[in-house]
Amino acid sequence: MYSKMLSLRFPKKIVNEPIAVNLVKKFDLSFNILKATIYPRKEGFMVLELSGHRKNFQRGVRYLKSLGIKVESIGQDIKRDEETCFQCGACTAVCPTGALHIKRPEMEVLFDGDSCSACELCVSACPARAMRVKFNRGLLN
């Protein structure tokens, strides 16, 4: 199984197309939408994790590009300033992947970088400003 985090920029002429459904039906891929901003008659943006067999993944990406979608691979570096963090747990309440979670009974906030989708919700939720997310984007071939 091959999996990669992608950002997609949709031209406004295709935001009403069933693109995600076609990835499933035509290419046997699964996806998890992590962030999306799509409005009628405007450019759309989506961050998703796309998974499947490598050959199907490559065919699916070619399909997206053929529609005029700008496809970029997303890598992320997330840092937590341990000195600034006061273990309040606010980040754990908004983390959609469980990458930030509370270890019980110690009530310690733990971070699993492999589960992080870099959605940035923890950055805005952190009252101590201890969370920092940096995206490293690279265009897929």
pLDDT digits (tens, 9 = 90+) for 40-80: 888 889 988 899 999 999 999 999 999 999 998 776 667 78
pLDDT of residue 2: 81
pLDDT of residue 53: 94
**3-state DSSP assignment of residue 83:** coil
Domain with CATH 3.30.70.260 in the chain: 2-68
Q: What six digits make up the tokens of 110?
A: 């733990």
Asked if the model's pLDDT at residue 140 lies above 60, the reply is no
User: Which CATH superfamily does the domain covering 2-68 fall into?
Assistant: ACT domain (3.30.70.260)
Burial class (CB in 10 A: 0-12, 13-18, 19+), 33: exposed
Tell me how crowded residue 9 is: count the other CB atoms within 10 A of its CB.
13
Domain with CATH 3.30.70.20 in the chain: 79-133
pLDDT of residue 137: 52
**Phi, psi at 42, each rounded to 5°:** -135, 160
Structural domain 79-133, CATH architecture: 2-Layer Sandwich (3.30)
12: CB partners within 8 A, 6+ apart: 41, 42, 43, 44
Weakest mean pLDDT among 42-51, 80-89, 90-99, 129-138: 129-138
pLDDT of residue 76: 60
pLDDT of residue 136: 58
